[in-house]
Amino acid sequence: MGMVSEFKDFIAKGNAMDLAVGVIIGAAFGAIVNSLVTDVITPALLNPALKAAQVENLADLKTDNGILYGKFLAAVISFLVIAFVIFIMVKAINSMKKKEEAAPAAPAGPTQEELLTQIRDLLKK
């Protein structure tokens, strides 16, 4: 029964729950980024660039030995596009956070020295 109790304590700890939530949110965010890249950015940017370079089917490129370097190049391009999109999204989110942080802070109350000075002056009267 001790092992079950330890397992329950492990699962109930915040770190395990935070990790589980992070993985789930990460998977959902990954689907959003993948769709953005596949459905929006790739057709808008890469297809005209690839057509201009006269490389119609990049993934079909291979050597005489059967090495599919085209698939590797397509994977590298896909990675770079996804990394750039994530960079832009994180940059936008960080700029929104900076605007929230830049909001004026509540006026600070008197310092301890000022309060002690006021008390001293009141005691003198």
pLDDT tens digit sequence for 48-62: 655 555 445 666 777
Q: Is the pLDDT higher at 31 or at 99?
A: 31
Task: Write down the mean pLDDT value for the chain.
Answer: 77
Angle made by CA atoms 79, 77, 60, in degrees to the nearest 5: 120
Using an 8 Å Cβ cutoff, are 61 and 70 in contact? yes
| Percent of all residues in the chain with a pLDDT value above 70, rounded to a whole number | 80
Q: How confident is the model at residue 104 (pLDDT cuts 50, 70, 90)?
A: low
Mean pLDDT for the stretch of residues 92-96: 86
Question: DSSP alpha helices (H): ranges in 1-125?
Answer: 2-12, 14-35, 47-52, 69-101, 112-124
Mean pLDDT for the stretch of residues 76-92: 82
- For residue 110, pLDDT over 70 is answered with yes
Q: Could you tell me which of 80, 81, 79, 74 has the C-alpha nearest to residue 60?
A: 74
Which residue type is seen at 53? A
